[in-house]
Amino acid sequence: MSGLQRRDFLARAAAFTAAGAALGGATRVAAGDPSFMNNVPDPLLAGHELPTFKFALERSEGKVIDGSFGKEATVVQLPISKGIAGVSMKLQPGAMRELHWHATAAEWAFVLEGRVRTTVIDPEGCAETNDFNPGDVWYFPRGHGHMLECLGDRPCHFILIFDNGYFSEFGTFSITDWIGHTPKPLLAKNFGLPEAAFDGFPREEVYFARGARPPEQQSIPLQGRRLPPQTHKYELLAQPPHKVFPGGREWRVDSSRFPISQTVTGVVLDLEPGGLRELHWHPTADEWQYVVEGSVSVTMFGSHGRYRTETLEKGDVGYVPQGYGHSIENVGGGRSRVLIGFNTGVYKTIDLSQWIAGNPTDVLATNFSKPAELFEKFPRRDVFIAPPGAAKE
Ligand code: MN
Ligand code: MN
């Protein structure tokens, strides 16, 4: 596309967006096809260059209270990440991320270090308490109230993923914030208690509460045990990997294995030095990446000749919008590990090798103006992870 054509394309795209906005929500719903929303051009992705898709999450400041911290990557820190936000959180022994809910996002988490206990309530009044070890995952549906606390005498560290890039961990609905701003007579009436019962309650949001270390044995809730039909816990790394290749391996959990996780799929991708998660795209989801170990080169292709490469180090976050071509290659000296989240409960990928293998050689010969015999040498099935030094003479 020439510069002139491109400007024309962008102008038409802008006019289309304006027309879409004028339609109004009711008409959009009546149209019945939510994928229509994907057709509205995102101004951030409509430029001549692709914007950065990297953010140094662990090097950011975040919110620190008594050695516990929360660091976040939302559209504020990483503007491209409109579909998914992420948080790195560490809790000291005896620290609790207080009772809260998220009005606009579901929460998915992966434990990196230490042990965590959670409780979560659902709209049916069922509550579940779970204890998590490194490699375990939790999922809390949008709006369900929960708390997180460090178990044992060592700090815990976990990564949270939210299915909304505009979601901020620091804009959650916390129980102290609510009760601290509700008049005592109303609280007294609500709970059938004297007003004095609420004397000395925190007046502002506590966020990280501190107290005694939780008992090893889970305590019984006030209402007794009323367990929900679906568990909120999945032991991801306790399972055998989903895919194993000489160049690496992948664990994956979506709603087919973890039914409550309707809006998030999680992946742990290990690559050997030089290993490559091949060129591919996801037709139904955005991809959020967090480098747990090592250093990886991530490429992204965004149509119109736009191509960008970023090197992500340990603690960095990457983001690939739905449908954008990309690859991940271990460029460090040791094994790399990347935690990946998708904003879908059903994982889908189309890998470049598979796409090519799905076409006959005459099509490929014409497409590339090369002899058909050349394509006889191409893989006949999905490569998925290419080994180090895969190039053959
Ligand atoms: Mn939360
Ligand atoms: Mn991917």
In the chain, domain spans: 37-234, 244-386
Cα angle, residue 264 at apex, residues 340 and 262 outer, rounded to 5°: 160
345 neighbors 263 (Cβ within 8 angstroms): yes
> Tokens representing 197?
């019962």
Catalytic residue status for 146 = yes
Q: How far is the CA of 143 from the centre of ligand 1 (A)?
A: 9
The domain over range 37-234 is classified in CATH as 2.30.110.10: no
Residues 237 and 56: their CA atoms lie apart, in Å, by: 25
Residues 338 and 57: their CA atoms lie apart, in Å, by: 14
> Over the stretch 48-75, which tens digit does the pLDDT of each residue have?
999 999 999 999 999 999 999 999 999 9
37-234 with 244-386: one CATH topology?
yes
Confidence of residue 392 (pLDDT cuts 50, 70, 90): low
Residues 170 and 193: their CA atoms lie apart, in Å, by: 31
358 neighbors 305 (Cβ within 8 angstroms): no
Among 99, 122, 121, residue whose Cα is nearest residue 174? 99
Query: What is the SS3 assignment for 206?
Result: coil
Q: How far is the CA of 330 from the centre of ligand 1 (A)?
A: 32
The Cβ of residue 258 has, within 10 Å, a number of other Cβ atoms equal to 24
Could you say which ligand is closest to the alpha carbon of residue 119? 1
* Beta-strand relationship, 248-253 and 276-281: unpaired
85 neighbors 162 (Cβ within 8 angstroms): yes
Catalytic residue status for 216 = no
Q: How far is the CA of 10 from the centre of ligand 1 (A)?
A: 39
Catalytic residue status for 282 = no
Residues 289 and 342: their CA atoms lie apart, in Å, by: 9
**Average pLDDT over every residue of 253-277:** 98
Q: Which amino acid is at 19?
A: A
Q: How far is the CA of 270 from the centre of ligand 2 (A)?
A: 13
Which residues are found with C-beta within 5 Å of the ion, ligand 1? 107
Catalytic residue among 72, 107, 272, 329: 107
CA dihedral (24, 30, 34, 35) in degrees, to 10, reads -90
State the fold for domain 244-386. Answer: Jelly Rolls (2.60.120)
> Over the stretch 323-368, which tens digit does the pLDDT of each residue have?
999 999 999 999 999 999 999 999 999 999 999 999 999 999 999 9
DSSP, res 203: S
> Over the stretch 1-55, which tens digit does the pLDDT of each residue have?
444 444 444 444 444 444 434 444 444 444 455 555 666 778 899 999 999 999 9
Residues 105 and 100: their CA atoms lie apart, in Å, by: 12
H runs (alpha helix) in the chain: 3-23, 25-31, 175-180, 184-191, 352-357, 361-368, 372-376
User: What confidence score (pLDDT) does residue 297 get?
Assistant: 98
Whole-model pTM: value is 0.89
Q: How far is the CA of 147 from the centre of ligand 1 (A)?
A: 7
Catalytic residue status for 100 = yes
End-to-end CA distance of the chain: 35
> Tokens representing 278?
């091949």
Residues 255 and 272: their CA atoms lie apart, in Å, by: 28
Catalytic residue among 100, 144, 157, 282: 100
Catalytic residue among 115, 144, 146, 252: 146
Residues 358 and 77: their CA atoms lie apart, in Å, by: 40
> Over the stretch 208-232, which tens digit does the pLDDT of each residue have?
999 999 999 999 999 999 999 999 9
Q: How far is the CA of 162 from the centre of ligand 2 (A)?
A: 17
Q: How far is the CA of 105 from the centre of ligand 1 (A)?
A: 9
DSSP, res 219: P
Residue 339 CB-half CA count within 13 A: 27
